[in-house]
């Protein structure tokens, strides 16, 4: 579980920004979005292949 510690003078906005940054860095939000809807294995395989081709083109 991701946590953010607040100091006595810190604002909540600053803590929320830090929490969002940590979640983004750990990939939590990306995983949540990926599991939001079910996708068939064939579609996952196709997307993975497409991403690999895109990566190969840029290298």
Q: What is the pLDDT of residue 2?
A: 87
Q: pLDDT tens-digit profile of 22-51?
A: 999 999 988 999 889 999 999 999 999 999
Q: What is the pTM of this model?
A: 0.59
Q: Taking the domains of the chain in order of start, what are their residue ranges?
A: 12-58
Q: Could you write out the DSSP letters of every residue in the chain? A: ----PPPTT--HHHHHHHHHHHHHHHTHHHHHHHTSS---HHHHHHHHHHHHHHHHHH-
φ, ψ dihedrals at 36, nearest 5°: -65, -40
Question: Are the CB atoms for 6 and 15 separated by under 8 Å?
Answer: yes
Q: What is the pLDDT of residue 38?
A: 93
Q: What is the pLDDT of residue 57?
A: 93
């Amino acid at each position: 579980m991701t946590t953010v510690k607040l100091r006595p003078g810190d604002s909540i906005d600053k803590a929320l920004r830090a929490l969002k940054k940590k979640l983004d860095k750990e990939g939590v939000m990306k995983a949540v979005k990926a599991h939001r809807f079910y996708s068939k294995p064939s579609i996952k395989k196709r997307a993975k292949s497409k991403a690999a081709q895109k990566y190969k083109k840029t290298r």
